[in-house]
Amino acid sequence: MAQILDGKKLREKILESLKSKVEKFQTKPTLVVILAGDNPASKIYVNNKKKTAEKLGINSQVINYPADVTENELLSKIEELNNDNSVTAILVQLPLPEHISKENIIDAISPQKDVDGFTPYNFGRLFSGEEPIVYPCTPKGILLLLDEYNIEIEGKHAVVIGRSNIVGRPMAQMLLKRNATVTMCHSKTKNLAQITKTADIIISAAGKNIIKGEILKSDCVVVDVGIFKDENGKTRGDVDFDSASQICSYISPVPGGVGPMTITSLMLNTVELFEKSL
Ligand code: GUN
């Protein structure tokens, strides 16, 4: 039976030390979250971010826009926040309404306040093997979780499933930086099971229930980034926990694995940007 990669437990440990760090600051970090439209999942995520920040003594503000907000309105708000010295971190919640160019919006954020690490400067640094100002939250949280359980990365075959800018692409780069041998799989990959059978570490961010025990190598490590409701309204991930946990050595549960680590990384990044701004 696999050991659980407990994201909730690690979140509590990291947030506790972050709270005492923030208490010692003369002025406090300020995180501004822009939420456009009324995607129900985004509303929950944004609310959690705000609540967690407040618990740590980090100032946080959510700016809500209706789904028909114009790109120019968002761009001028971002410019205002870039120029406001009291704002130390900016996050634009994704997805944005369809008529808005995600690229234009992200490009407008000052790299020094880019708490997601998504701007071209930070992504460019990451993809050229340099240090970005901060690392994207979900992959950063996954590495913190693997490190907490002393899971070796160097020289291992890591298979990343999903090529989003939020998870898959930066995850692959970060694993590469840690000297893993990285394979990227996605919706057009033909021989997924053949590839996963050779994986020491699998990071699955497909958004579909695709990982069953039978496609895993024994004693591998499985990180489940997927989160969605099944037809019975039950929260599920990409991994069939019951069959996978019979084969692998470590597994992250859904919920309680990667989700808490993403928010933990966001708080770490908020504090890092603040410290760099001093
Ligand atoms: N939507 C889902 N995950 C994320 C994230 O990590 N950052 C932002 N900005 N939006 C998201």
pLDDT tens per residue, range 188-216? 999 999 999 999 999 999 999 999 999 99
Query: Where are the chain's structural domains?
Result: 27-110, 137-259
Confidence of residue 162 (pLDDT cuts 50, 70, 90): very high
- The pLDDT of residue 230 is above 90: no
| Ligand 1 pocket residue status of 46, Cβ below 6 Å | no
Out of 111-115, 198-202, 205-209, 220-224, which region has the weakest mean confidence (pLDDT)? 205-209
Determine the residue type at 145. Answer: L
Whether 27-110 and 137-259 share one fold: the answer is yes
Instruction: Ligand 1, residue 95: give the atom nearest the CA.
Output: 1
Buried/exposed 66-98: b ≥16 CB within 10 Å, e otherwise = eeebebeebbebbeebeeeeebbbbbbbbebbe
Nearest atom in ligand 1 to the alpha carbon of residue 262 is: 6
Note if 217 is an active site residue. no
DSSP run (H or E) holding 3: strand 3-4
Distance CA 157, CA 179 (A): 10
Q: Which two tokens stand for residue 48?
A: 């959690």
Q: Is the dihedral of CA 229, 231, 234, 240 positive or negative?
A: negative
Confidence of residue 71 (pLDDT cuts 50, 70, 90): very high
Residue with tokens 């808490």, as numbered in its chain: 260
Judge whether 8 counts as a catalytic residue: no
The pLDDT tens digits for 33-58 are 999 999 999 999 999 999 999 999 99
- State yes or no: is 116 an active-site residue: yes
Ligand 1 in reach of 137 Cβ (< 6 A): yes
- Per-residue confidence (pLDDT) for residue 231, from 0 to 100: 87
Of 206, 192, 207, 142, residue with least CA distance to 171: 142
Q: Greater confidence, 237 or 233? A: 237
- Answer yes or no: are the C-beta atoms of 87 and 113 closer than 8 Å: yes
Please check whether residue 10 is in contact with residue 148, taking contact to mean a CB–CB distance below 8 angstroms. yes
* Architecture in CATH of 27-110: 3-Layer(aba) Sandwich (3.40)
CA of 238 to the centre of ligand 1 (A): 18
Q: Is the pLDDT of residue 182 over 90?
A: yes
Position 195 scores a pLDDT of: 98
Instruction: Indicate if ligand 1 lies below 6 Å from the C-beta of 184.
Output: no
- Biggest CA–CA distance in the chain, Å, is 55
Q: Which residues of 15-28 are buried (b: 16+ CB within 10 A; e: fewer)?
A: beebeeebeeeeeb
- Report the chain's mean pLDDT, rounded to a whole number: 97
In ligand 1, the atom with minimum distance to the C-alpha of 91 is 9
Of all protein residues, the one whose alpha carbon is nearest to atom 8 of ligand 1 is 93
CB atoms closer than 10 angstroms to residue 181 = 15
Q: Ligand 1: which of 93, 123, 138 to mutate, judged by most atoms within 8 Å of the beta carbon? A: 93
Active-site residue, selected from the candidate residues 28, 114, 116, 173? 116
Question: Which helix (H) or strand (E) segment is 250 a member of?
Answer: strand 250-251
Residue 42 CA: nearest ligand 1 atom is 1
pTM over 0.85: yes
C-beta 93 within 6 A of ligand 1:
yes
For residue 248, pLDDT beyond 90: yes
Pick the catalytic residue: 28, 77, 93, 224? 93
> 137-259: what fold?
Rossmann fold (3.40.50)
Tell me the best of 94, 164, 169 to mutate to test the pocket of ligand 1, counting ligand atoms within 8 Å of each CB and taking the most. 94
Ligand 1: residue of 46, 116, 228 to mutate (most ligand atoms within 8 A of CB) is: 116
- pLDDT tens-digit series, residues 129-146: 999 999 999 999 999 999
Q: From atom 9 of ligand 1, which residue's Cα is the shortest distance away?
A: 93
